[in-house]
Amino acid sequence: MSDVSAPTEAESIAIARALSSPLRLRVLRLCAFDARTNKELAELLDVNPGTMLHHVRSLVDTGLLAPDAERTGNRGAREVPYRATGLSWRAAVPG
């Protein structure tokens, strides 16, 4: 028997909403094997860093992304790399 409980309906809806964005799917692909910071993701996907932070936070809130250990950037700025958790999701299709 598995320790992992099935997501609640509210959690399933939140995950589905997070996965409905093509940009968020691209973020998950980029973070699948390498941890990347918000700035790196914004540059790679040619998106405003503020917009990227919104999408990253949505993915973190749903458990699809997880922060790695904080590090210091080139100029002493705080950087938080994110990595995809590998959480999978399956929709129940009536019928």
Tens of pLDDT, residue by residue over 16-72, are: 888 889 999 999 999 999 999 999 999 999 999 999 999 999 999 999 999 999 988
Q: How confident is the model at residue 1 (pLDDT cuts 50, 70, 90)?
A: very low
Q: Percent helix, strand and coil across the chain, each rounded to 5?
A: 45, 10, 45
Domains identified in the chain and CATH numbers: 9-84 (1.10.10.10)
Distance of CA 25 to the CA centre of its chain: 8
Q: How far apart are CA 41 and CA 48, in angstroms?
A: 10
Question: Which tokens is 33 given?
Answer: 């094997």
Contact 30, 24 (CB under 8 A): no
